[in-house]
């Protein structure tokens, strides 16, 4: 199963791969070179399919838990001063996604969407300390019953050239539902109240909508 954001790219890539394969097959006489080129094109297509996959999962939602918004690896767990929305100290948990991870962004909690904003910016590597403030990004805040306002921020990386955000202020977010998509590598930060019990450790691999980042 593939995400809707990949439909055009997948069809375009498939058409290019088929066309180039026909050209290679017609014009390249050396069978070894011809086979290598066609294999390279097939591998490229597989990588594109891998990136836009959207596997079916059985989600267990809970108002007592904050779920990981994306697949990837936990790279930050620390108290920081959040400048955009809270303007005070928050507990930040950041998940870095490689190009091979599933890139669907899911709501970590359910509730009313009280803030949603897009920021154009740079394309620093996603683990750069200033990427949260200087890279292209979107900030979404959901008011939950148990945790209050929970902010998650999609951040573009060096390869990510487009962030898709579905969150609309005033709408109701369902925990684990699609919040957006980041194309080709990135990271997502989650900001929680200081003192929230953290359930993950640095460098732990997590799954979007499955892994519990924190709980009451």
Would you please indicate which residues are annotated as catalytic (active-site) residues?
A: 186
CA 216, CA 210: separation in Å to the nearest integer? 17
Contact 182, 169 (CB under 8 A): no
Q: Phi, psi at residue 193, to the nearest 5°?
A: -60, 140
HSE toward the beta carbon, residue 85, CA cutoff 13 A: 21
Collapsed DSSP state (helix, strand, coil) of residue 178: strand
In the sheet with 104-106, reading across from the earlier edge strand, the strands are 104-106, 178-183, 162-165
Distance CA 196, CA 213 (A): 10
d(CA 105, CA 62): 18
What DSSP assignment string belongs to 59-110? ----TTEEE-SSSEEEEEEEEEEETTTT-EEEEEEEEEE-TTS--EEE-SS-
Angle between helices 31-51 and 7-27 (to 10 degrees): 180
């Amino acid at each position: 199963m593939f995400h809707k954001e990949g439909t055009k790219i997948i069809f375009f890539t498939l058409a290019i791969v088929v066309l180039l394969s026909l050209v290679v097959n017609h014009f390249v006489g050396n069978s070894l070179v011809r086979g290598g080129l066609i294999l390279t094109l097939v591998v490229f297509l597989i990588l594109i399919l891998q990136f836009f996959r959207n596997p079916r999962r059985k989600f267990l939602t809970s108002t007592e838990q904050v779920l990981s918004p994306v697949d990837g690896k936990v790279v930050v767990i620390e108290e920081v001063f959040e400048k955009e929305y809270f303007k005070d100290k928050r507990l930040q948990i950041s998940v870095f996604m490689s190009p091979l991870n599933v890139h669907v962004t899911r709501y970590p909690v359910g509730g009313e969407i009280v803030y949603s904003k897009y920021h154009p910016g740079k394309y620093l590597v996603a683990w750069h300390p200033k990427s949260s403030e200087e890279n292209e990004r979107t900030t979404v805040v959901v008011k939950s019953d148990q945790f209050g306002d929970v902010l998650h921020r999609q951040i573009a990386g060096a390869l990510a050239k487009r962030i898709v955000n579905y969150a609309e202020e005033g709408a109701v977010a369902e925990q684990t539902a699609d919040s957006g998509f980041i194309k080709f590598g990135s990271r997502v930060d989650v900001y929680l109240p200081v003192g929230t019990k953290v359930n993950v450790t640095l460098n732990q691999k997590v799954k979007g909508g499955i892994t519990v980042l924190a709980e009451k």
